[in-house]
Amino acid sequence: MANSDLQIVAAGLHKRFGNLEVLKGIDLTVRRGEVIVIMGVSGSGKTTLIRCINFLEEPDEGKLVVCGLEVECGAGKDDRARRARIRQIRTRVGMVFQSFNLFPHKTALENVIEGPIVVNNVPRAEAVELGTELLERVGLADKQHEYPSRLSGGQKQRTAIARALAMKPDVVLFDEPTSALDPELHEEVLKVMRELALDGMTMVVVTHEVAFAREVADRVHFMDQGVVVEEAPAHQFFSAPEHPRARSFLRLVEHTQLDGGAV
Partner 1 sequence: MWELFQRAAPTLVEALGVTVFLGVTAFTIGSTIGLAVALIRTSKLRLIKYVAVSYVSIFLGTPMLVQILLIYFGLPQLGIAIDPIPSGILALSLNVGAYQSENFRAGLLGVDVGQREAAYSVGMSYWQAMRRIIFPQALRIALPPIGTRFIALMKDTSLVSVITVTELTRVAERVGSATFRYLEMYLIVAAIYWILNFVLALGQATLERRLARPY
Q: Which chain residues interact with partner 1 by CB under 8 A? A: 54, 56, 87-88, 90-91, 93-95, 97, 99, 101-107, 114-115, 118-120, 147-149, 160, 163-164, 166-167
CA dihedral over 102, 189, 192, 235, signed as positive or negative: positive
Run of H or E including 91: helix 80-92
Q: Which of 226, 225, 250 is nearest to 238 (CA)?
A: 250
Q: How far is CA 170 from the centre of its chain?
A: 12
CA angle (100 as vertex; 253, 225 as ends), nearest 5: 40
- Sheet holding 219-224: strands in order across? 93-96, 171-175, 202-206, 35-39, 219-224, 227-233
How many CB atoms are located within 10 Å of the residue 72 CB?
11
The CA distance from 181 to 192, in Å, is 15
What whole-number distance in Å separates Cα of residue 220 and Cα of residue 260?
Answer: 23
CB 246 within 8 A of CB 63: no
